[in-house]
A and B are shown apart, each in its own frame.
Chain A
Amino acid sequence: MINSRFFNRSELLGFLALAVLLLVILPLSLDIFRLNLVAKYLTYAFVGIGLVLCWGYGGILSLGQGVFFGLGGYCMAMYLKLEASSVANTKIQSTPGIPDFMDWNQLTSLPFFWKPFHSFPITLLAILLVPAFFALIIGAAMFKRRVGGVYFAIITQAIAAILTILIVGQQGYTGGINGITDLRTLHGWDIRTDHAKFILYFVEVVLLFGCIVAAQFIRLTKLGRILVAMREQEDRVRFSGYSVANFKIFAFCAAAVFAAIGGAMFTLEVGFMSPSFVGIVPSIEMVIYTAVGGRMSIFGAVWGALLVNFAKTSLSESFPQLWLFGLGALFIAVVLAFPNGLSGIWADHVQPRIDRLLASRKSKSAAGMIADGAPAE
């Protein structure tokens, strides 16, 4: 057993490689526009990390992570929107001081559930707690009744659809299909400037590494092992006296919180939030990023989010009419040929060669490094 160390050697290498790429190479080589795009891609990596825990390790496939991404994003957007809708900024409206879309929909006062979002600390708490609470309810309702597998996936998908319809339908309270747009400042700090985008990028990368470490921590505790055990033989875990439902609820909530952090960062990086991130399609896309990166690898999820979104941007810039087909073909190819995604390719083909190379230099063998259940990248 190698779990005496927090990261084994190949994981440490992966961590360092990612840190060097995100903190040094990209900021130095990209202009602020491209760097901001990378920041946008990385917000999906948060969701990916959550999915690795919940789907890769726990075996709970959620096709509704967009719900939590959206909840986090909407919490942040509500705070930013209230700050942008000061009385001075909204003089032209019939009711100054409320967000513009409420005025268009003939609301004359701020709805009660918007009021807490005047406060920044409460907003930060809400970003973490609202999705966690929501996931807790869904998880308790499903897992306590032993609903799982495909049924659970379908239900999460339905929840994503329901939330989208709710947001679109209640446009006086939520901004409808337009979403919450024209966000300007965070606690008085203009988030639209290049300088702010640069700083936000680093904040996001630091948060991302925080999440990676947290996920790694969960993975290495006894809890992580129970998750894997549940995935492989749920009944045996149950017969051993563990409450399977509670562990599942925990994994699902953790994934929801990671997704919500990503959503909140997305709102800050992109400057708006809309129901198009909540629905079925974005939720499935998030699963695809994770699948391409490798659902068993935390680092793979980050790489998957980065590479797929990068491919999306560059393909659509070069072939505006054909890019969707190209992307679809890419997904099919990766999933068919490499079920463990990019990290699987790394672990099966690249890692052994590196090990062999190192082994021939040192006399000691480095075998066993990759045999740790999860092919880390």
Chain B
Amino acid sequence: MSDETKPGLKSPLRRKLLMGMAALPAVSMLGRPAFADVPATSAVNTTGLAVTDSEVTVGILHSVTGTMAISETGSVEAEKLAIEQINAAGGVLGRKIKFIQEDGASDWPTFAEKAKKLLVNDKCAAVMGCWTSASRKAVLPVFEQYNGMLYYPTFYEGLEQSKNVIYTGQEATQQIIAGLDWVNKTKGAKSFYLLGSDYIWPRTSNKIARKHIENHLQGCKVVGEEYFPLGSTQFNSVINKIKLTKPDVIYAIIVGGSNVAFYKQLKAAGIDLSKQALLTISVTEDEIDGIGGENIAGAYACMKYFQSLDNPNNKAFVPAFKKMWGEKTVIGDVTQAAYLGPWLWKLTVEKAQSFDIDKIAAASPGVEFKGAPEGYVRIHENHHLWSKTRVGRAKADGQYELIYETADLVEPDPFPKGYQ
């Protein structure tokens, strides 16, 4: 996508000119002297990252081809929007962000190869990327070995914490516990049927859900638990079982294209989601685009962000996103989390006054982003985010209507005691 960092510009006069030019937007925005904002490269970059006096290079590593492209495209778009906005606001420590985009091709080893390329070859100061847990697991050793910084946007199963990763999505407990409490309290739900695609995230999430239901909710029980291979499209037998057991809540963690078949077959089997409560943690506005709003209307989703959120940050974010990527785009939970990545990195760099990975890792806890479309987020000591949990109800137009949010930020707990 982008070319290599430009060498040259050796004359001190040109360099000063350029520094001045790079800082111009900052001057106009903040009204402060330009040079105060641009510390010397030698001071802010002691480990040889791709930082010049006027530019800093970051990587974007998502699948833009293959089965995951449909999910990851939103993240790429959000990251590019954030980078453009940061550049328009003066960049990071007076330096414009330049990005190099690589394609993970929905293939985990390719992710590892490209991550290595971004860190070793391109010396990226940070990488925004990955989506599935498998791709993150594949790149994690690379980031730890070459000491890079990854901003990972997806809600995931937890059980992980790394100096070299900032998790901008929710870990499992943040997404699950508040939602179950809510459905138990307001809907009086006592029996739950757990469903999921067969891989680590749904399995771990359902494990946490089951422990919470059995140990923490009074008189509640799990009446069934089933898993389906990724990409599966046959749900008739489980739908029959659901009809027989009549659970108060269907708890569904089905991912990707399977969702389309699942919700259509539910509807065809006569299960009316306006009467039968269904709580999902895997269907964002992006998935509804494929499922069709009329097939899923009435279902509840537990997320931290909905496109319909009514707050000033989101009201600026949604139009900006649509202006850049088209009126028809929808913004799901992960897309918003991906948007946080570049901003959190910028704020952390400015707090640390350095691009060095070790200093960023150390400075990350406590960094807060008040401009987040979801409202407000802060980085925890464990490199996950404090954020609110919200429950929305799907409408036929493909949007969620917010019906509940936690009063306070929920603490991230990637290794939850008593839920293992």
Interface residues, chain A, CB within 8 Å of chain B?
31-33, 36-37, 40, 92, 94, 100-101, 104-106, 165, 168-169, 171, 176-179, 181-183, 192, 270-272, 274, 276-277, 313, 316-317, 320-321, 323-324
Contacts and interface: CB of A to CB of B under 8 A. Distances in A.
B109 interface: yes
A182 B141 contact: yes
B234 interface: no
Nearest to A324: B65
B134 A178 contact: yes
Contact of B103 (A168, A176, A277, A323): A323
A182 B137 contact: yes
Given A104-B204, A168-B198, A33 B120 contact: yes
B218 interface: no
Contact of A274 (B102, B138, B203, B230): B138
A104 B200 contact: yes
Contacts of A165: 229
A316 B121 contact: no
A76 to B, nearest CB: 15
Contacts of A36: 116
A31 B123 CA distance: 14
Interface in B173-194: none
Interface string B51-80: 000000000000011000000000000000
A181 B65 contact: no
Nearest to B160: A100
29 contacts: A31-B121, A32-B120, A33-B116, A33-B120, A36-B116, A40-B113, A104-B200, A104-B203, A106-B207, A168-B198, A168-B199, A168-B229, A171-B198, A176-B199, A177-B199, A178-B133, A181-B140, A183-B141, A271-B112, A274-B108, A274-B109, A276-B107, A313-B113, A316-B105, A316-B114, A320-B64, A321-B65, A321-B103, A324-B105
B159 interface: yes
B11 interface: no
A272 B138 contact: yes
A176 B109 contact: no
Contacts of A177: 134, 199-200, 230
B109 A321 contact: no
B4 to A, nearest CB: 11
A176 B141 contact: no
B264 interface: no
Contacts of B102: 316-317, 320
Contacts of A101: 200
B109 A270 contact: yes
A262 B313 CA distance: 53
B145 interface: yes
B230 A272 contact: no
B376 interface: no
Interface residues of B, number: 37
Contacts, number: 100
Contacts of A33: 116-117, 120-121
A59 B203 CA distance: 44
Main secondary structure of the interface of A (DSSP, over half): helix
A181 B138 contact: yes
A176 B230 contact: no
Contacts of A40: 113
Contacts of A316: 102-103, 105, 110, 114
B101 interface: yes
B392 to A, nearest CB: 29
Interface in B318-372: none
Contacts of A274: 108-109, 134, 138
A182 B136 CA distance: 11
A179 B108 contact: yes
Nearest to A282: B107
B1 A320 contact: yes
Contacts of A183: 141
Contacts of B133: 178
B420 interface: yes
Interface string B93-131: 000000001110101111011101100110000000000
Interface in B383-420: 415, 420
A192 B64 contact: no
What 9 A-B pairs have minimum CB-CB distances, sorted nearest first?
Answer: A320-B103, A33-B120, A178-B134, A181-B137, A177-B199, A178-B137, A321-B64, A324-B65, A192-B145
A165 B199 CA distance: 11
Contacts of B105: 316, 324
Nearest to A94: B420
A177 B415 CA distance: 22
B141 A192 contact: yes
Contact of A277 (B109, B117, B140, B229): B109
B114 to A, nearest CB: 8
A271 B200 contact: no
A288 B64 CA distance: 23
A106 B121 CA distance: 40
A171 B109 contact: no
A33 B113 CA distance: 9
Nearest to A184: B141
B385 to A, nearest CB: 22
Contacts of B101: 320
A272 B64 contact: no
Nearest to B159: A104
Contacts of B207: 106
B128 to A, nearest CB: 14
Interface centre among B108, B112, B198, B415 (most CB of A within 10 A): B108
Nearest to B66: A324
Nearest to B134: A178
